[in-house]
C-alpha cells in the first residue's frame, strides 16, 4: 500500500496507472460485462494520461469508467463486483475504481459501502471510504461495526485507517480532528487485533490524534495499558502511537513509556565531524552517556537544517533505546547523511545537531554545509 504522495515524484508511483494497466482493467471489466466498450474506454482513459500526475490520473481513469459502465450505479457496481473475481483485478489500477465508487456512488451508500469492502483487499479503499464518513457517518459506522467482526484483516484495517483524522494523501476529517472520541471507540475494539497490519493502523491513528489532542492520546494509551498491563501488543501500540509526542520530548508520553525526562544522565566526549561537508555527504555523531543508577534511556538526535530564511525547526531521528548501567560509560555512534529528499530541500549554511535523551537536549554542535 502507498505511504507517500506520488505527485511530482519523477514517475515512481504515477506510472503504476499507465496505458498497460488500463488495458488490464479493461480486460477484467469485459470479462465481467458482455458488450463492455473496451476500445472506447481505453481510448478515453489513456488520452493525455502521460501528462498527468498521480491523483489526476486516478480521476481521469475514474471518469472514463463512469462513461463506459452502465449509467445506473447499482448495475455498474454489479459489474465491478463480478470483475473482482478476476485474479488479475488488483494493484494500483484499483485506485481509480475506488475513486469512481467514492464520487459516483456517494448517493448510494447501501451499495457502495459493501463494494468498497470487497475492493479493499485488492487495493486499499481507505481513501474512498472517507467521503462516506463525511456524508453518511451513521450508516458508515454501522458498516464499521460489521467489518470489525470480520475475519478479513483488510476490512478490520479499513475501519481504523479509513477513519484516521489526518490520513496522508487524503482530505482531512475535520470533524474527527475536532473530536476524535468516535474513532477512539473503534480503536478500542481493534487494539488487541491478531493482525500486525491492523495494529500498525491503530497506532498510526493514535499518532494522528496525538497531533491535535496530546493529552487525550496519552490518556487513551494509558487506559489501554492499564486494562491489560502485560500486553506486549498494547505496549507496542502505545510506543508507536505516541512517537510524535516522544520526538517532541513530551514528558507525559515519555513517562508512560518508562523513560524519566528528569533522570540524571551525563553526556561527554561529543564529537560531530567533519565540521564542514557538502550537500549529500555524511557527518559522524559520537558521544558517551553515563548515569549514577540503572536508567532506561531513549536516545535521539535532532538536526536543525539551514533554511532559505534562517534555521528551520528540528527534525528528530531515532538512535537507540537502551538501559544505562550505574557509572558505566556507554558510547553511541551514528552517521547521518545531509542530502536532498522529496520533502526537504537542503540549503547551504550551518546545521545544528543536538543529542536528545529522554526528551531533553544534553549537547549540540554545528556543521557547516556547502553546495560545492
107 shares a domain with 175 = yes
Read off the pLDDT band of 323 (50, 70, 90).
very high
What is the crossing angle of helices 181-188 and 196-212, to 10°?
160
Any domain includes 48: yes
171-182 mean pLDDT: 97
CA distances from 95 to 99, 125, 279 (A): 6, 8, 37
Integer Cα distance of 300 and 265 in angstroms: 14
Q: Is the pLDDT of residue 1 over 80?
A: no
For residue 301, the enclosing domain spans 266-370
Both 61 and 128 in one domain: the answer is yes
Question: The whole model's pTM is what?
Answer: 0.91
Report residue 342's pLDDT band, with 50, 70 and 90 as the boundaries.
confident
Q: In this structure, is residue 37 part of a structural domain?
A: yes
* 325 and 209 in a common domain: no
Least Cα distance to 269 among 203, 186, 332, 222 occurs for 332
- Hunting for cell 507496542 — which residue is that? 236
Which of 202, 237, 256 lies at the terminal end of a domain, its last residue? 256
| Residue 7 confidence (pLDDT) | 37
Q: What is the pLDDT of residues 349-358, one digit of tens each?
A: 999 999 999 9
Pick the closest to residue 349 from 272, 273, 276, 280 (CA basis). Answer: 276
Residue 5 lies in a domain: no
Measure the CA–CA gap between 45 and 49, rounded to whole angstroms: 7
27, 88 in Cβ contact below 8 A?
yes
Q: Is the pLDDT of residue 79 over 80?
A: yes
In the chain, which ranges are continuous DSSP H helix? Answer: 19-32, 38-46, 54-68, 73-83, 94-104, 109-119, 130-135, 137-148, 153-162, 174-178, 181-188, 196-212, 214-227, 232-241, 243-247, 251-256
Read off the pLDDT of residues 8-64 as tens digits, 9 standing for 90 and up: 333 479 999 999 999 999 999 999 999 999 999 999 999 999 999 999 999 999 999
Of the pLDDT bands very low, low, confident and very high (cuts 50, 70, 90), residue 2 is low
In a domain, 9, yes or no: no
Residues 219 and 293 in one domain: no
Q: Is the pLDDT of residue 172 over 80?
A: yes
The count of domains in the chain is: 2
How confident is the model over 261-316, as pLDDT tens digits? 999 999 999 999 999 999 999 999 999 999 999 999 999 999 999 988 877 789 99
**Residue at 3 is within a domain:** no
Does the pLDDT of residue 112 top 60, yes or no?
A: yes
Same-domain status, 250 and 345: no
CA distance 29 to 41: 10
Cα gap 354→360, rounded to integer Å: 10
| Same domain? 78 vs 210 | yes
Q: Which of 256, 282, 316 is the last residue of a domain?
A: 256
**For position 216, what pLDDT does the model report?**
98
Q: Are residues 219 and 317 in the same domain?
A: no
Task: Clarify whether residues 167 and 131 are in a common domain.
Answer: yes
Last residue of some domain: 256, 280, 310? 256
The CATH number of the domain holding residue 129 is 1.25.40.290
The CA distance from 48 to 46, in Å, is 6
> What is the SS3 assignment for 288?
strand
CATH number at residue 316: 2.60.40.10
Percent with pLDDT over 90 in the chain: 92
- Are residue 231 and residue 283 in the same domain, yes or no? no
Supply 265's cell numbers: 544522565
Query: In the chain, what is the greatest distance between 2 CA atoms, to the nearest angstrom?
Result: 79
Residue-wise pLDDT tens digits, 115-149: 999 999 999 999 999 999 999 999 999 999 999 99
In a domain, 2, yes or no: no
The predicted pLDDT at position 311 comes to 76
Question: What pLDDT was estimated at residue 5?
Answer: 36
Cis peptide, bond prior to residue 92, ω within 30 of zero = no
State whether 278 and 220 are in the same domain.
Answer: no
Q: What does the alpha-carbon distance between residue 238 and residue 242 come to, in Å, rounded to a whole number?
A: 6
Q: Do 297 and 250 sit in the same domain of this protein?
A: no
Residue 135 lies in a domain: yes
Does residue 245 sit in the same domain as residue 325?
A: no
Q: 230 in a domain, yes or no?
A: yes
Amino acid at each position: 500500500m502507498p505511504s507517500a504522495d506520488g505527485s511530482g515524484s519523477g514517475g515512481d508511483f504515477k506510472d503504476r496507472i499507465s496505458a498497460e494497466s488500463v488495458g488490464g482493467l479493461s480486460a477484467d471489466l469485459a470479462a465481467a460485462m458482455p458488450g463492455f466498450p473496451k476500445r472506447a474506454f481505453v481510448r478515453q482513459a489513456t488520452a493525455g494520461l502521460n501528462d498527468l500526475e498521480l491523483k489526476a490520473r486516478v480521476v481521469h481513469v475514474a471518469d472514463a469508467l463512469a462513461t463506459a459502465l452502465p449509467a445506473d450505479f447499482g448495475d455498474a457496481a454489479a459489474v465491478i463486483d463480478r470483475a473482482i473475481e478476476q485474479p488479475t483485478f488488483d494493484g494500483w489500477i484499483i485506485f481509480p475504481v475506488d475513486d469512481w465508487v467514492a464520487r459516483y456512488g456517494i448517493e448510494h451508500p447501501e451499495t457502495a459501502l459493501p463494494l468498497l469492502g470487497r475492493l479493499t483487499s485488492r487495493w486499499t479503499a481507505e481513501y474512498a471510504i472517507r467521503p462516506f464518513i463525511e456524508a453518511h457517518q451513521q450508516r458508515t459506522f454501522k458498516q464499521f461495526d460489521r467489518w470489525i467482526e470480520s475475519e478479513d484483516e483488510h476490512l478490520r484495517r479499513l475501519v481504523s485507517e479509513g477513519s484516521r483524522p489526518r490520513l496522508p494523501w487524503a482530505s482531512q476529517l475535520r470533524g474527527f480532528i475536532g473530536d476524535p472520541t468516535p474513532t477512539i471507540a473503534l480503536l478500542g475494539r481493534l487494539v488487541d487485533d491478531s493482525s500486525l497490519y491492523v495494529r500498525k493502523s491503530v497506532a498510526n491513528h493514535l499518532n494522528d490524534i496525538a497531533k491535535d489532542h496530546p493529552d487525550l492520546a496519552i490518556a487513551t494509551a494509558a487506559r489501554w495499558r492499564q486494562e491489560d498491563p502485560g500486553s506486549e501488543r498494547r505496549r507496542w501500540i502505545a510506543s508507536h502511537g505516541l512517537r510524535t509526542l516522544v520526538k517532541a520530548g513530551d514528558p507525559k508520553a515519555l513517562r508512560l513509556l518508562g523513560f524519566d525526562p528528569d533522570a540524571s544522565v551525563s553526556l561527554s566526549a561529543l564529537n560531530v565531524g567533519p565540521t564542514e561537508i557538502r550537500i549529500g555527504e555524511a557527518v559522524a555523531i559520537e558521544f558517551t552517556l553515563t548515569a549514577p543508577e540503572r536508567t532506561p534511556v531513549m536516545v535521539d538526535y535532532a538536526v536543525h537544517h539551514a533554511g532559505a530564511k534562517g534555521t528551520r525547526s528540528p527534525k528528530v531521528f531515532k538512535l537507540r533505546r537502551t538501559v544505562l548501567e550505574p557509572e558505566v560509560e556507554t558510547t553511541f555512534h551514528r552517521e547521518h547523511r545531509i542530502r536532498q529528499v522529496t520533502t526537504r530541500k537542503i540549503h547551504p549554511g550551518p546545521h545544528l545537531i543536538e543529542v536528545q535523551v529522554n526528551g531533553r537536549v544534553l549537547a549540540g554542535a554545528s556543521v557547516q554545509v556547502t553546495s560545492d
